[in-house]
Amino acid sequence: MILYLLLGAFYRTDPNGPMYYKGVYHLFYQYNPYGAIFNTTIVWGHSVSHDLVNWIHLKNAIVPTKSFDINSCWSGSTTILPGNKPVVLYTGVNTKNQQVQNLAMPKNLSDPFLKEWKKYSGNPIMTPPDGVKPDNFRDPSTAWKGKDGIWRVVVGGLRSNLGVAILYKSKDFVHWSLHDEPLYFGKNTDIWECPDFYPVSVKSRDGVDNSVIRINLKYVLKASFKSKSHDYYTIGSYDAENEKFLPDSKGLTGSSLDLRYDYGKFYASKTFFDSVKNRRILWGWINESDSSADDIKKEWAGIQSIPRQVYLDSTQTQLVQWPVKETEKLHDKHVTYSGKKLRRESLFEVSGITASQVDIEVSFMLPKLEEVEVLDPKWSDPQLLCSTKTPRDSGRAGPFGLLLMASQDLKEQTAVFFRIFKDNHQFVVLMCSDQSRSSLREGIDKTTYGAFIYINRKDEMISLRSLVDNSVIESFGAEGRACITARVYPKFSVHTEAHVYAFNNGSLDVVIPRLDAWSMKTAKGN
Ligand code: FRU
């Protein structure tokens, strides 16, 4: 594992409380220091970085010690209070196994690494409200301040079988009162974990601090749906007077029609506003695809995604995500191809780079859109469609894309590819990440993932970027309008025997105006 934040041995899951403080990026995370499995000793692990690429691992920041968190310190967020004072809100599992919300703050604000944390003596500061079971109340968000100077925060939960973002308000960040209505709730959904609520600019890619109030903003509400293991989000507006989030479309339903940050493995994610580079950054937990027995044997499980800059798409109907620019610091040997034609049923090897650790970006000229196949209205679930239309099934425009982590005989390969359809009066690209042949090993989750990307009749090209690091493949379609993350465990020796190919199995020829690939260097601390 080269680029990824492995964060010490053992079990790590949700990113917690990311922030920028005095020249340093902080990432906390759910961590079991005693084994590669989930148990009742979860702590807040802590790592810091100056560049989001190279990391220093510090001692655990918040660990179970008190009656209000003795059975684990679960997920939460940081908020930077006026005067540049970070504080943490986190969920404690108390002596009765109830979930309560606690406050913690750094012991020494002059230490940019914020190594030592103390817990507020009056914890817990929030206990499960009426109608919310004590095991369904967790994961406080970053707080935001209203025009009235009062802080607001949402906590995830389940109330009357509805996933809910429970709203609390406070004047001093210590005494919190429950608002009678939630900020928003879902329909027929399971518990919402790790809610995130933040403004996005409609004018630029710049990030916006959670407490900024101005026109020209839209709002994102994200919830992690436990029953689906996916992070869903919706875009809308914030009616501050009535304390309500108003989605522009159907809101959060947990169906295949909802928007997701990532259509593969990516859960319990969290964003933060990076005040030094004026951007919003997203991190997610990527879990394993092998078994817990494998995890125990290899003595670790779970990684954090490469941090992604996140902003509103120009259509204002979805978000765009892109690996932070700093990732390019790891670029090493570079190969480039231009004007390459991929005839039907052909492939070519991208050679000269380390295929097991590569950042590869390719653009494909779109064929004449009149010639593409028609999308059957029954095909509304892209993931299902990707498992039916494999990379080997020839279509008209596509499948074309990349074969990653491939063995030379192609018996093991992960195909990340596009296929283009006409859907009524618009055109849609099906983006798939097919893990079904990723490994000859048995007992691995090889689910195929898929997403739809709507394109314009005027669009001439579609791009695909994949960041590959041994068992991790994070793919960004159409410049980050759809993302799919996969874990793959080929049998071949990944360091020396991995190959990467571009392929076209459609009946229409495809032109690659440009392909760039870089071997990736090893980041420090990983
Ligand atoms: C999400 C989650 C959170 C909880 C934490 C426990 O993965 O279940 O709801 O706080 O993990 O580790």
Tell me how far CA of residue 368 lies from CA of 310, 421, 432, 450, 504, in angstroms. 31, 11, 21, 23, 16
- pLDDT tens, position by position, 329-372: 999 999 999 999 999 999 999 999 999 999 999 999 998 888 89
Expressed in angstroms and rounded, the spacing between residue 74 Cα and the centre of ligand 1 is 6
**CB-based burial of residue 356 (10 Å sphere; 0-12 exposed, 13-18 middle, 19+ buried)?**
buried
Which pLDDT score, from 0 to 100, does residue 1 have? 44
pLDDT at position 9? 57
- If DSSP codes are grouped into helix, strand and coil, which group holds residue 394? coil
Structural element, H or E, at residue 433: strand 426-434
Tokens of residue 120, six digits:
């507020």
Token pair, residue 244, equals 């309500």
Residue spans of alpha helices (H) in 195-354: 292-298
Instruction: Report the range of poorest mean pLDDT among 87-91, 431-435, 458-462, 472-476.
Output: 458-462
Q: Which CATH superfamily is domain 10-323 in?
A: Glycosyl hydrolase domain; family 43 (2.115.10.20)
Q: For residue 4, name the pLDDT band (cuts at 50, 70, 90).
A: low
Please name which of 417, 319, 407 lies closest in space to residue 364, comparing C-alpha atoms.
Answer: 417
Q: Look-up: residue for tokens 């004018």?
A: 203
370: DSSP letter = G
Whether 10-323 and 329-520 share one fold: the answer is no
Phi, psi of 248 (to 5 degrees): -75, -30
Q: Does 30 sit in the ligand 1 pocket, CB within 6 Å?
A: yes
Residue 13: CB within 6 Å of ligand 1?
A: yes
Q: Which two tokens stand for residue 19?
A: 């922030």
Residue 138 CB less than 6 A away from ligand 1: yes
Phi first, then psi: what are they for 240, rounded to 5°? -65, -35
For residue 67, the surrounding DSSP H or E stretch is: none
How long, in residues, is the chain? 526
> Among all chains, which residue has been given the structure tokens 């690429």?
53
Which tokens in the block code for residue 460? Answer: 């001439």
| Mean of pLDDT over the chain | 94
Of 10, 14, 31, 97, the one to substitute when testing ligand 1's pocket (max ligand atoms within 8 A of C-beta) is: 14
pLDDT digit string, tens, across residues 226-276: 999 999 999 999 999 999 999 999 889 888 889 999 999 999 999 999 999
**DSSP letter assigned to residue 325:** G
- 213: Cβ contacts below 8 Å, ≥ 6 apart: 146, 147, 240
Helix H or strand E segment including 387: helix 382-388
Cα-atom radius of gyration of the chain, to the nearest Å? Answer: 23
Task: Tell me, in angstroms, the distance from the centre of ligand 1 to residue 2's CA.
Answer: 26
- Burial of 515 by CB count in 10 Å (0-12 exposed, 13-18 middle, 19+ buried)? buried
Domain definitions of the chain by residue range: 10-323, 329-520
CB of 287 within 6 A of ligand 1: the answer is no
Confidence of residue 315 (pLDDT cuts 50, 70, 90): very high
Q: From the CA of 75, how far away is ligand 1's center (Å)? A: 6
The predicted model scores a pTM of 0.97
**Enzyme catalytic residues:** 14
Nearest CA to ligand 1 atom 9: 193
> Is residue 280's pLDDT more than 50?
yes
Direct distance between the N- and C-terminal alpha carbons of the chain, in angstroms, rounded to an integer:
7
Answer whether 468's CB lies under 8 Å from 355's CB: yes
pLDDT of residue 5: 53
Task: Name 121's Cβ contacts closer than 8 Å, sequence gap at least 6.
Answer: none
Q: Which of 420, 383, 73, 415 is nearest to 229 (CA)?
A: 383
What confidence tens digit (pLDDT) does each residue in 130-163 have? 999 999 999 999 999 999 999 999 999 999 889 9
DSSP labels for 216-238?
SEEEEEEEEETTTTEEEEEEEEE
pLDDT of residue 214: 87
What is the average pLDDT across 107-127?
A: 98
Ligand 1 proximity of 139 Cβ (cutoff 6 Å): yes
14 touches ligand 1 (CB under 6 Å): yes
Q: 297 by DSSP, 3-state: which?
A: helix
CA distance 94 to 459: 55
Question: How far is Cα 292 from Cα 8, in angstroms, rounded to an integer?
Answer: 18
Residue 287, pLDDT score? 94
Mean pLDDT of 177-204: 94
Cβ(477)–Cβ(462) under 8 Å?
yes
What is the distance in A from the centroid of ligand 1 to the CA of 194?
Answer: 7
- Dihedrals φ, ψ of 440, to 5°? -85, -10
Task: Give yes or no for residue 409 having a pLDDT over 70.
Answer: yes
Handedness of CA 31, 35, 36, 39 (dihedral sign): negative
The H or E element that residue 82 is part of is none
Residues 134 and 132: their CA atoms lie apart, in Å, by: 6
20-47 exposure pattern, b = at least 16 Cβ within 10 A, e = fewer = bbeeebbbbbbbbeebbeeeebbbbbbb
**Measuring CA to CA, how many Å separate 507 from each of 87, 198, 395, 399?**
57, 44, 6, 9
Per-residue pLDDT, averaged over 272-284, amounts to: 98
Closest alpha carbon to 485 in 443, 441, 450, 455:
450
**Lookup: tokens for 100:** 């309560």
Q: What pLDDT does 206 receive?
A: 97
Fold of the domain spanning 329-520? Jelly Rolls (2.60.120)
Has residue 36 got a pLDDT over 80? yes
Q: Is residue 28 over pLDDT 60?
A: yes
